[in-house]
Amino acid sequence: MAETSPLVLDAMIVTGNTKAAVKAAGGGSSDLWTVPPDQIHYDPRDNVRPLDQDRVRHLAALMKANGYDRKKPLGCFVRKVGGEDRIFVYEGQHRYHAALLAIKEGGFAKDKEIDRLPVVIDEAKSVNRVNLIYAGITNNDGEKLTPLQLAEKVIELQDLGEPNASICKRLNITDQTIRDVLLLAHAPAGLHKLVRDKIVSSTLAIEEVRAHGGEKALERMLNAASKANASGKVKVTKKVLDASAPKETSKKITDPQAKQLLQALQSVLHDPVFGKLSPGTIEAVHTALTPLADLLDARSLATKTPALPGLDNRQFRELKGRLCPKGVTADIRIARVDRARYVMATTIVLPGEGRSGPLSAADAKSGFSWAEPEHALAAGVRSIRKYLKTEANNARNGKERAAVSKWLDGLCAAEPDIGRAVGEQTASERAGMAAWPFSTGGRP
């Protein structure tokens, strides 16, 4: 959040008697009053613009050479302070401070000394904080407020209850101007400093905040300012900013890059500890590779981890392969129930027929579980082979059955542990001694 400084507002203005104040100050005239400079008071909160000491210094030098231009009276009002009526300047603060500085330093040209300053004092009934702000802004129209200075006063007017419609009308600005300056006002303090130091223009700062947000805009501005300073420049312009911004690289992936990505993803899939990755990562790999099954080698079985009620999804591993020709699907799914028990289910879909078994922790309670994941996968291989041999006798799907058999052979060849376990199971079955429990009714 941008750093901000709370506005310290003066208490409600208690207006005083103009004639009494002028008389007490030794002034004269009835409309354009002339008052000794040391009898005029100053409160920075009555002025909309911060005091610029360089401007004061410049005006003081002009006054010592030319005197005070009486055609430019100070705008003042009378405030009661401690029971006394005192004159306060709210318009022309730089001329007022320049006169005080010139008097303090001396060195006036002949007949140019300053003993009194011309002032116009507002009627008491028109003096309030809102009117002082409006007058301070509009009366400075010859030297316009910067957007940041305007924003500070817009915020103060809003805090005083002024609606945006009134602010727009009395300042002759649009709603968009208010939105722009407030956008700048709520930007980070570091961006304010760049604007005040005249390193960045208010207009450019507003454009950057609107396009990138406050923090990013500040980062871009500081980077541009650093590079501008290194090249001997002071200000950050749009040209300097664009030249300093990181160049955007093409987002299009080339064919060689796509091939590299596919190979890298396939390498991840083949990693021995792939099944220990997080479910989200496994699912992402599966989603990316399933449509590309035709391009993968025999070992490339997409792997995912769907939700499975009753099982620990962090320990759940599913192996799935989509085979050629299209429309043929076979998979072997396993899940870890506890430290030493795995359950298994298979799916095989051929043209005109197929089956899919549920993967459930209840199988472990029924005795259908295996101590090692390779044994569970091997049982799945044997289950699908048994289905192909005894049940899938449709002559029309001979090509598809051959594709599934080829996939199983490739799986066993690519995963030696699975192939070895399949052989052990086959040998045990031939010997009549089942090393692992096999289910009935279509499941191993």
Residue with the larger pLDDT of the pair 170 and 395: 170
Threshold 0.75, pTM exceeds: no
Per-residue pLDDT averaged across 268-290, rounded?
66
What value does the mean pLDDT take over residues 322-335? 62
| pLDDT score at 308 | 34
User: What pLDDT sits at residue 273?
Assistant: 65
Distance CA 110, CA 55 (A): 24
Query: Residue 405: which pLDDT band, with cuts at 50, 70 and 90?
Result: confident
Does the structure show a pLDDT above 70 at 68?
A: yes
For residues 75-97, average pLDDT: 92
Q: Percent of the chain at pLDDT above 90? A: 11
Query: Quick one: which of 383, 373, 389 has its CA closest to 421?
Result: 373
Looking at residue 114, what is its pLDDT? 93
Q: Provide the mean pLDDT of the chain.
A: 75
With contact defined as beta carbons under 8 Å apart, do 120 and 126 qualify?
Answer: no
Stretch 234-263: mean pLDDT: 72
Look at 32-36, 54-58, 357-361 and tell me which has the smallest mean pLDDT.
357-361
In angstroms, the Cα distances linking 323 to 265, 296, 302, 344 are 19, 10, 11, 20
d(CA 319, CA 365): 23
Q: Is 289 exposed, middle or buried (0-12, 13-18, 19+ CB in 10 A)?
A: buried
Lowest mean pLDDT among 54-63, 70-79, 270-279, 335-344: 270-279
Checking if the pLDDT of 35 tops 60, the result is yes
pLDDT over 70 (residue 141): no
**Using omega within 30 degrees of 0 as the cis cutoff, is the peptide bond preceding 437 cis?**
no
Q: Rounded CA gap, 280 and 309, in Å?
A: 17
Number of H helices, E strands in the chain: 17, 10
- Under the banding of pLDDT at 50, 70 and 90, the label for residue 310 is very low
> What are the residue boundaries of the structural domains of the chain, listed by start?
1-144, 187-237, 305-430
pLDDT at 317 (0 to 100): 38
What per-residue confidence (pLDDT) applies to 73? Answer: 92
In the structure encoding, which two tokens stand for residue 40, read together?
A: 């005029």
Confidence of residue 359 (pLDDT cuts 50, 70, 90): low
Other C-beta atoms closer than 10 Å to the C-beta of 11 total: 6
Phi, psi dihedrals of residue 244, rounded to the nearest 5°: -85, -20
Q: What is the pLDDT, as a whole number, of residue 430?
A: 58
